[in-house]
Amino acid sequence: MVNLYIVRALLLVGLTAVAIYVQVTSSTLSLPLSTGTTVLTILLPLLAAVNTFGLLLRILPRQASTSPILQKFLPFVLQILQGVLAVVLATLAAEGFVPGQVLDCNLENSWQGLWHTKDGRAIERIQDAFSCCGLRSTVDRDWPTHQCKDLYKDRHGACLIPWRASMQRNSGLGFTVAVAVGILQLIQLAFFTLRTSEGGHARMGYRQNTSSFVSGPSDRLLGNGAANGDDDGTGPETNGSGGGRRGYGGTEDGPRVEPTHLGDSGEENTWG
């Protein structure tokens, strides 16, 4: 079990690193990804780690310092929160890597916003990252205005295609993080359910063994006593008014008369 939790922890660390990469790249390239979405994608693996600790509290023996109410309800609340967050983030990320007019429209609006606010530094970062000029052509809202191609003679393409590819890659990575955390959550819940079921069967078996141990010896002693009574002829059928315990020298029809050797010699001769 310890090895499984170590593997899970390493996977969550890797997913967190991927989510951080998505956040940094999206910010650097001014991709039309919501900052809140990328930040929540970073927090999702951390929430999964907290949920792992919460389930451990339910598996491990309860401590006196832990509130029973908190131990009972908090893990379920966090699990529900994690599941909802994973579904929402996966849905939002899917919209960013599926090709179509929606994706191109988002890129168009993002570039237009940079151009309208004259954020030349952001536009230049995009152009420098992909060695391109402008959005749909080398003179389409390039930066510096209509000078990019003259300043960089080796740039002959527009930025839309590589910029879109970067958007799809980052969205795909965000989608992967959300789905992977969701799969890990399902595996964790299945393992927890199995562990809880095994623990319940073990406790039931322990109670049965304990009850049989408590009642068993006395029952066995009573049973052995009854059996011994039957063997010795002291059972109920021999203690009734119709018959007593057979004495020494008794016969089936009645007691046998034995000489007492008391009296005179004539009695002795008679018995002799």
Q: What is the pLDDT of residues 177-230, one digit of tens each?
A: 999 999 998 988 887 777 666 554 444 544 454 454 444 444 444 445 444 444
Mean residue pLDDT of the chain comes to 76
pLDDT band at 241 (very low <50, low <70, confident <90, very high): very low
Residue 144 CA to residue 141 CA, distance in Å, equals 9
How many percent of the chain have pLDDT more than 90? 45
Residue 95 CA to residue 100 CA, distance in Å, equals 10
Q: Report pLDDT for 175.
A: 96
Residue 70 CA to residue 87 CA, distance in Å, equals 26
User: CB atoms < 10 A from the CB of 33, how many?
Assistant: 24
Residue 52 CA to residue 82 CA, distance in Å, equals 11
Tell me the pTM: 0.67
Amino acid at 264: D
97's tokens: 């890597």
The label of the residue with tokens 């005179």 reads 264
Q: What b/e sequence results for 182-220 when a residue is b if at least 16 CB atoms lie within 10 Å of its CB, and e otherwise?
A: bebbeebeebbeeeeeeeeeeeeeeeeeeeeeeeeeeee
> Does residue 3 have a pLDDT over 70?
yes
Answer with the residue of higher pLDDT: 211 or 172.
Answer: 172
C-alpha pair distances (Å), 1 with each of 4, 142, 196: 5, 57, 14
Helices 2-28 and 35-59, packing angle to 10 deg: 170
Phi/psi for 233 (5° steps) reads: 80, 25
Q: What is the pLDDT of residues 90-138, one digit of tens each?
A: 999 998 988 888 899 999 999 999 999 999 999 999 999 999 999 999 9
DSSP states of 186-228 as a string? HHHHHHHHHHHHHHHHHHHHHHHHHHHHHHHHHHHHHHHHHHH
